[in-house]
Amino acid sequence: MIIQPMEAQPQSDAQPQWTVGVLQSKIREISFSPGTTLDSELLREITTFLLNDEPEGGIRALIHMSGLVDVCPEVAPRLNKSKATTRLALLGQSRVDRVLAGFMLADMCNTNIAKYVSSLDEALAYLSDGFDPAG
């Protein structure tokens, strides 16, 4: 967890950097606290949670880009290693959301893993395409 300033010690009342919810069966919704930087450590934390939740690796997640202020360069290469059944809808409405998603997507080799979307309907259509939530 990042505490400002960086020298400060973590406090017990600190807010989590991300939360997860369920949109539909097996489709998770990830939201970030305002001011969050998505780095490899935070990505590892989220991935570990999602893989424990869905051990077969068929991860489908709506990622709210709002709240993020930066995405570190090591995130895209880690996402490139995802299973082919992984699909991430990067939902945003602001120019900052679009730019952060654009930088991340530009560094990804596997373009089938993630897509920037600007509406919930578009996100759900992308996440549900070719996906059987029952199995």
Convert the pLDDT of each residue in 1-47 to its tens digit.
333 334 444 444 567 899 999 988 789 999 999 999 999 999 999 99
- pLDDT confidence of 54, banded at 50, 70, 90? confident
In the block, residue with structure tokens 């995802």:
82
Reading the block at residue 1, the tokens are: 């967890």
Question: Which span out of 31-40, 50-59, 80-89 was modeled with the highest average pLDDT?
Answer: 31-40
The structure's pTM equals: 0.83
pLDDT at 131: 62
pLDDT at 4: 38
Whether omega for the bond prior to residue 34 falls within 30 degrees of 0, making it cis, is no
Convert the pLDDT of each residue in 89-118 to its tens digit.
999 999 999 999 999 999 888 778 999 999
- For the chain, list the domains and their CATH numbers: 18-128 (3.30.750)
CA atoms within 13 A on the CB side of 58: 13
**16 vs 55, higher pLDDT:** 16
In the block, residue with structure tokens 């305002």:
34
The three-state (H, E, C) secondary structure of 64-129, written as one string: ECCCEEEECCCHHHHHHCCCCCCEEEEECCCHHHHHHHHHHHHCCCCCCCEEEECCHHHHHHHHHC
Amino acid, single-letter form, for residue 93: Q
pLDDT at 46: 95
pLDDT at 83: 85
